[in-house]
Amino acid sequence: MKPGTYHLLGVTIIFLLILTGMEAVTAAPYWVKPGVYIEYIAERYDPYIQYLNGKGYVSNISKATSVIFYEYNGTVFRILTLNDTKIRFRVLEISNNWATIGVRIELNNVSILTLVKKNTTPPRLWDVGTSEVIIEPPHDQSIPEDMVWYKIFTKRAVITGVYKLQLNDSAVFDLNGKFYGHTGLWYQATEEWDPSLPFIVEPGNVSYYIRKTGSWKRSFWTPYGTFGPPVGVLTLESEGGTIGVSIGGIFKMFERTVSPNSTSTVPVDPNSDIIIGHSPTDFTFPDLQAIGVIFGLFNDQRGAYLNQVKRDYSTWSGLLLYGTNAEFQGVQEVPFSKAQTPLRYTFWVSFVLLGSIVAARGWGKIK
């Protein structure tokens, strides 16, 4: 072969190697880049509060946009938010096969409850200037006498954290390397997520696994915009169990029994693969668990009002996509359940091309 041929062959091989490498890394959507953020929201909506008042409900839990159980520095908090709950995920860095994601949870008009040792202060995650603190002795035999209830009422609380996302399979890990499940930011129909791996693991070891993908032949409204039709739908299924949250094994704060074969749905934009809504109550995505949110329940009250009062199912009451600076391509008609990746075709076309070049050169030499 002539030197030029070696050069051409070398360039082609490098091109192939890059493509093979990209195949591993680009399991994440193309729009996942440093600086990209995705925001979800559960908004307060006054007509829903009026509807609850009309039913005679007085519990703050009924009127919350979120109830979050959060562990920070060994202290477990129950955080109840009466105005908007907003969560932002930002891609801070991408290095090899890993993305570092920053999370910021903004909670407005908040009631915080925890149990701490007497004469100690729980770690502060609330605005100091605007908060009211009530300290009460416990009235339960199960709680040691040297503990006290700490109740904080504040206009605003912010939770921040950082976790790692493995790009080739979208697996979520905390900074200590603990595995939590699949990201709740996107899902690609072409992914090869091991179905025996839990998609989500809730406290109490209740796991959800991928059951199937499909689509809704209708649109889905979010504050960011309306998606579909069709809307991609990922169905998860649980083996059942009991989800439980307690403070240091002393006091149970939350419990739910999950029946075997319970299913849950995740709506996805089939064009960009971004997850456009999180289940209202079923589970907490690993992206929140990895920063200390043990469990969270969300209630977008506009969605709740439309679903429960107006019987309008154009949206729902879970977390909804609120904003993103990701640049989506204007792709049309992408079948959600069909496994295909243009990159894979590019790989094979290049492979055939390389074979043709080598064969042509070889044939030329024989002649």
Partner 1 sequence: MPGRGTNIPPGRRVNNEKAGCRVVWSAGSGGRARGSNAVGSHLGAPETRWGDGWAYAEVGVKYDPTHPYTRYEITYRYGDGGLTDKGKERGYHAEVNKYWDSNGITVETVVKNSGDFVMEKVYASAGWPYI
The residue from 78, 86, 164, 182 that contacts partner 1 (CB under 8 A) is 78
Contact call for residue 70 and partner 1 (CB under 8 A): no
The residue from 280, 286, 292, 296 that contacts partner 1 (CB under 8 A) is 280
Q: Which residues contact 365 (CB under 8 A, 6 or more apart)?
A: 1
Q: In the block, which residue shows the tokens 């199937």? A: 212
Q: Kindly tell me the sign of the dihedral angle through the C-alpha atoms of 226, 229, 234, 237.
A: positive
Tokens for 61?
A: 């839990």
The residue from 173, 179, 209, 216 that contacts partner 1 (CB under 8 A) is 216
Q: Which stretch binds partner 1 (CB under 8 A): 139-147, 156-164, 201-209, 358-366?
A: 139-147
Q: What is the DSSP code (8-state) at residue 62?
A: G
Q: How far apart are CA 73 and CA 122, in angstroms?
A: 9
Nearest to 242 by CA among 252, 227, 231, 234: 252
- Is there a contact between 278 and 268 (Cβ–Cβ < 8 Å)? no
The residue from 2, 3, 74, 139 that contacts partner 1 (CB under 8 A) is 139
- Is there a contact between 31 and 328 (Cβ–Cβ < 8 Å)? yes
**Residues present in the chain in total:** 367
Minimum CB distance to partner 1, residue 57 (Å): 5
Write the binding mask 287 to 316 for partner 1: x where contact by CB under 8 A, - elsewhere.
----------x------x--xx----x--x
The residue from 66, 85, 154, 279 that contacts partner 1 (CB under 8 A) is 279
Contact call for residue 253 and partner 1 (CB under 8 A): yes
Contact call for residue 138 and partner 1 (CB under 8 A): yes
Element (H, E) at 20: helix 3-25
Q: Which stretch binds partner 1 (CB under 8 A): 54-62, 85-93, 161-169, 189-197?
A: 54-62
Nearer to partner 1, 19 or 250 (CB): 250
Tokens for 162?
A: 């950082």
Q: Applying CB under 8 A, which residues contact partner 1? A: 55-59, 61-62, 67, 78, 113, 136, 138-141, 149, 151, 216, 251-259, 262-265, 279-282, 297, 304, 307-308, 313, 316-317
